[in-house]
Chain A
Amino acid sequence: MEARTIVQALREALVEEMERDPSVILLGEDIAVFGGAYRVTEGLLERFGESRVRDTPISEAAIVGAGIGAAMTGLRPVVEIQFNDFLACAMDQVCNQAAKMRFMMGGQVSVPLVIRAPVGATGRAAQHSQSLEAWFMHTPGLKVAFPSTPYDAKGLLKTAIRDDNPVMFFEHKLLYGGSSPGGKAKTAVNDLGDAFRPAPRGEYLVPFGLADVKRAGSDVTIVATGMVLHKALKAAESLAREGIEAEVIDPRTLVPLDRKTILESVRKTGRLVVASEDVLTCGVASEIAAMVAEEALWHLDAPIRRVAVPDTPIPFAPAMEQAVLPQVETIAAAVRDMAIRGGGGRS
């Protein structure tokens, strides 16, 4: 059976890589006996044993630090941080240690460490809802992956595990598609259709630094990641009914970033919207917008638009939460606004 959810796809990637390479081990809070807060590692303790699948203390600095030390000495640890917000407790180990170790030591060592962490707002208020990819884009030495489909999740995680560098691997909670304990996890996967491409059985890799054009179009380029990618695809459908053809691109890895695919698209369409669930200032969208402004300004027919969370913590009340997140309608509105301001476009 192909993997139709990201939880299944990630688990398959872990199983395949652990069978392929005995140096791959898993560390994290509640990942062994309990199977992980989002069930990604369910059944892996039974399959691979206590030595390779380890429940840790609630000690994010030690979890990441132990992962680094193990990676520097020959293992390939995959660390799970239960919510990406908790990475704040491990920032020294991630940003001062993992990211810089190879650099400071003059290339004597590599740190083949994967840090998996869920992102995204799902009604849990400001400390369990952030999308912190940009923190790590801002730290040279880290790679940053963020899949939006089961296909990409499996292929990217396998690539991440085989990469000799530390990789931050972000997973959006609404895309997991598994059930949390009690079966109440919010999920969006039932509404995503064909765009949520399943992961086939068996070996394949998705390379880093290669964006995927999820929908072709000629009038505007929309770059988006994670859950927002699917909102962008829905926005594109509704825009198509109005005669606007949007090209929707998922970078899949933010570091390295596939500048070429984004720039080629913008040179074709003349318009760019970047949509992301992190906050606006110094965010994912800011970086991509700046890159395009530097490289392709003369190809633009309208100012670049960023659709991101305004500079606020994520509020708790559902109506407020939804109001600050990028939505299908806000993405579509940004495109329409741009079409008007840009004077009607090229097509």
Chain B
Amino acid sequence: MDRDLALGMFRKMVQIRKFEEKLYFLFSTRAMPGSMHQYNGEEAVAVGVCAHLANDDYITSTHRGHGHCIAKGAGIRAVMAEMFAKTTGCCKGMGGSMHIADFGVGMLGANGIVAAGVPIAAGAGLTCQVRGKGQVSVAFFGDGATNEGAFHEAVNLAAAWRLPVLFACENNVYGFSTHYRRTMALEDIADRAAGYGIPGAKVDGQDIRAVHAAAGEAVRRARAGGGPTLLEFKTYRYMGHSRFEPSSYRTKAEVEEWKRRDPIALFRAVLRGELGASESEVAGIEAGVEAEMEDAVRFAEGSPDPAPDDWKRYIFAGEGS
């Protein structure tokens, strides 16, 4: 793996982790609006996939969307300000955590409805195919989403039309509180690909090199007109389902077991070892990201609140905005 690429991906993973840690601190220590669903532990998936995407490629995301947004290149200040419901937020305070989006970088939105982004990603893939310029679209979704009708309909449609779409399943073991083995008779969601006549593979979602390699092959195939791929990334969320949810359905030992293969720690070791990055180089990245988060919080805190009737500007295009 190219050293600069690796350092860039490492930086993005650290950005996501520190963003989530900062957010947890903020929610714990002050009144923050709304709720949140955190991505800690799954960073390798978003970053390893998005490393293959340009600004004019598209992604759709889930209720757990901060990581996808940052990985696709959204500005940290605007993402943080949206958490504070400020006018400088990337959705101007209209969406919050669950609807975080940045169309300037092809991030078509987190989504509060499970699997709803999957057909929308297929539609973005349709645009890519009609334009014929080699763009691709990626749908991120969880294990739970694969039991929704919208997932099935969208993957089948994309397969039938050979749309340039990567269906990126983040199997983080639990749909809210329920283990995936309690809701499906398959061990590997990747096996569902055969049912649609498209390639599928399971991938170690904690190893960003494995994610990067598998996603690269799928994205190349899509750009070349070879149609969609279903990849299942085996991963894990460290935090509760949502803000302060206590995770009573799983053991501390299980969480600790997964943390032993922390995607950032694993990749840090690769950087320090095989790729020959110095400790000061890696630590410098971490310190730089820490400072970036402090800056983003200051920016958000100092930003204006929306006016109580700002909602009138956004219901219809061409009216009031």
B89 touches A25 (CB 8 A): no
The stretch of A102-110, A263-271, A321-329 that contacts the partner chain: A102-110
Report the separation of the CA atoms of residues A93 and B128 in the bound assembly, to the nearest whole angstrom. Answer: 20
A71 touches B153 (CB 8 A): no
Which residues on the B side are within 8 Å of A92 (C-beta)? 113, 116, 150
Residue-wise interface mask of B (141-167) relative to A, using a CB-CB cutoff of 8 A (1 in contact, 0 not)? 000000001100110110011000000
Kindly identify which residue among B92, B94, B119, B321 contacts A69, using a CB–CB cutoff of 8 Å: B119
Residue-wise interface mask of A (65-79) relative to B, using a CB-CB cutoff of 8 A (1 in contact, 0 not)? 111111111110100
B116 touches A93 (CB 8 A): yes
Report the separation of the CA atoms of residues A71 and B156 in the bound assembly, to the nearest whole angstrom. Answer: 20
The stretch of B7-15, B95-103, B187-195, B243-251 that contacts the partner chain: B95-103
Residues 208-260 of B at the A interface (beta carbon under 8 Å): none
Kindly identify which residue among A54, A68, A104, A163 contacts B120, using a CB–CB cutoff of 8 Å: A68
The reply on B124 being an interface residue by CB < 8 A is: yes
Kindly identify which residue among B118, B311, B313 contacts A65, using a CB–CB cutoff of 8 Å: B118
Interface size classification for chain B: 35 or more
Kindly identify which residue among B118, B123, B154, B314 contacts A73, using a CB–CB cutoff of 8 Å: B123
A68 touches B90 (CB 8 A): no
The reply on B291 being an interface residue by CB < 8 A is: no
Kindly identify which residue among B99, B130, B153 contacts A61, using a CB–CB cutoff of 8 Å: B153
B309 to chain A, nearest CB (A): 14
The reply on B80 being an interface residue by CB < 8 A is: no
Residues 109-167 of A at the B interface (beta carbon under 8 Å): 109-110, 112, 140-141, 143, 163-165
A73 touches B127 (CB 8 A): yes
Kindly identify which residue among A61, A63, A106, A163 contacts B314, using a CB–CB cutoff of 8 Å: A106
Kindly identify which residue among B92, B123, B156 contacts A59, using a CB–CB cutoff of 8 Å: B156
For A112, give the chain B residue with the smallest CB separation: B317
Report the separation of the CA atoms of residues A97 and B115 in the bound assembly, to the nearest whole angstrom. Answer: 11
Which residues on the A side are within 8 Å of B104 (C-beta)? 108
Which residues on the A side are within 8 Å of B317 (C-beta)? 102, 107, 110, 112, 164-165
The reply on B185 being an interface residue by CB < 8 A is: no
A65 touches B315 (CB 8 A): no
Kindly identify which residue among A60, A69, A106 contacts B124, using a CB–CB cutoff of 8 Å: A69
The reply on A56 being an interface residue by CB < 8 A is: yes
The reply on A344 being an interface residue by CB < 8 A is: no
The reply on B108 being an interface residue by CB < 8 A is: yes
A75 touches B126 (CB 8 A): yes
B45 to chain A, nearest CB (A): 21
Residue-wise interface mask of B (170-201) relative to A, using a CB-CB cutoff of 8 A (1 in contact, 0 not)? 00000000000000000000000000000000
Which residues on the B side are within 8 Å of A93 (C-beta)? 116, 119, 150
A97 touches B315 (CB 8 A): no
Which residues on the A side are within 8 Å of B205 (C-beta)? none
Number of inter-chain CB pairs below 8 Å: 156
B275 to chain A, nearest CB (A): 36
Of the candidates A51, A69, A71, A143, the one having the most CB atoms from chain B within 10 angstroms of its own CB is: A69
Given A57-B157, A64-B119: A107 touches B124 (CB 8 Å cut-off): no
The reply on B273 being an interface residue by CB < 8 A is: no
The reply on B121 being an interface residue by CB < 8 A is: yes
A75 touches B95 (CB 8 A): no
For B131, give the chain A residue with the smallest CB separation: A74
Residue-wise interface mask of B (107-140) relative to A, using a CB-CB cutoff of 8 A (1 in contact, 0 not)? 0110111001011111111111111000001000
B126 touches A69 (CB 8 A): yes
Which residues on the A side are within 8 Å of B150 (C-beta)? 61-62, 65, 92-93
Given A61-B149, A65-B120: A107 touches B314 (CB 8 Å cut-off): yes
A105 touches B109 (CB 8 A): yes
Report the separation of the CA atoms of residues A66 and B92 in the bound assembly, to the nearest whole angstrom. Answer: 26
Which residues on the B side are within 8 Å of A67 (C-beta)? 123
Which residues on the A side are within 8 Å of B311 (C-beta)? 103
Which residues on the B side are within 8 Å of A77 (C-beta)? 123
The reply on A96 being an interface residue by CB < 8 A is: yes
A51 to chain B, nearest CB (A): 6
What are 18 A-B residue pairs whose CB atoms fall within 8 Å in the complex?
A65-B116, A65-B119, A65-B154, A66-B120, A66-B157, A69-B108, A69-B119, A73-B124, A96-B112, A97-B120, A103-B315, A104-B91, A105-B91, A105-B95, A105-B103, A108-B101, A108-B104, A164-B317
Query: What 9 A-B pairs have minimum CB-CB distances, sorted nearest first?
Result: A69-B123, A65-B119, A106-B92, A62-B153, A59-B153, A164-B317, A66-B123, A69-B120, A106-B91
B contact residues vs A (CB 8 Å cutoff)? 58, 60, 89-95, 99, 101-104, 108-109, 111-113, 116, 118-131, 137, 149-150, 153-154, 156-157, 160-161, 311, 313-318, 321
A contact residues vs B (CB 8 Å cutoff)? 25, 51-52, 54, 56-57, 59-75, 77, 92-93, 96-97, 101-110, 112, 140-141, 143, 163-165
